[in-house]
Amino acid sequence: MTTAAADFWATYAAHRAAEGRQLSCSEMLAVPYLPSRQWAVRARTFDAFVRLVDQDDTLRVLDLGAGSGWLSYRLTLAGHECVAVDVRDDDVDGLGASFCYRGFERVVASFDALPLDSHGFDIAVFNAALHYALDLGAVLREARRMVRPGGRIVILDSPFYPSAADGEQMVAEKRHVYPASPAFIEYLTRERLQTASPLDWRRHRVWYPMWYEMRPLVARIRRRRRPSRFDLWECVVP
């Protein structure tokens, strides 16, 4: 991890802690089913992901950009084997916060340079994480290296925009507020994803709460840029 990225994540963790975003153990055990708008959206994506993977027997899952590891914990409860990877080990929402959880392996590493053997997983999943990549192609190549032939790469809760212009406008707005943040890719489009990893990517439409689904109409009425969507994206590794 670069010095700039390390400084950013340290500041980010401190900011979240100051906002009171650090969860208690009881709250962490309830994630993603917490009473907030953010978690109401993310719970819908997670439920869609569970429907996708529960068609299979025990899976070996690589949780990339795992944060506190809540997704690994949930999948472990369902009988799957998980390895949670994150570049952060702080106790706000990095791997250091995973002390409430049991049953899965934790690895502190960047997801563009994984200290793991190739082809050892059935699924590599990016859970609200892929937009923090500095090099989208390199990160997806590394995920592909991790997955066995016939396995899958899945993207959850990263912002996809209708066009690159909408995404770039969001980035400009963010840079105005946080000018020192690292050059993360920040957003995805179908074209950007396909160019970085020319596999057969499939979008699974997730139905979110009404206030979320109404955002494009609200943005149009207010003459603002079109908002992103999350949904669930999947490809099969040949």
For residue 91, give the nearest of 31, 25, 7 by alpha carbon: 25
Please indicate, yes or no, whether the overall pTM of this predicted structure exceeds 0.85. Answer: yes
pLDDT of residue 18: 46
Contact 95, 66 (CB under 8 A): yes
Q: What is the C-alpha separation between 140 and 138, in angstroms, rounded?
A: 6
Q: Residue holding tokens 């689904």?
A: 213
pLDDT of residue 175: 87
Which fold does the domain 3-11+22-236 belong to in CATH?
Rossmann fold (3.40.50)
| Mean pLDDT, the chain cut into blocks of 10 residues (238 residues total) | 58 51 86 94 97 86 96 95 94 86 95 96 97 96 98 97 96 85 91 96 97 97 96 97
Q: What is the C-alpha separation between 152 and 182, in angstroms, rounded?
A: 29
Domain boundaries, the chain: 3-11+22-236
Q: Which amino acid is at 150?
A: G
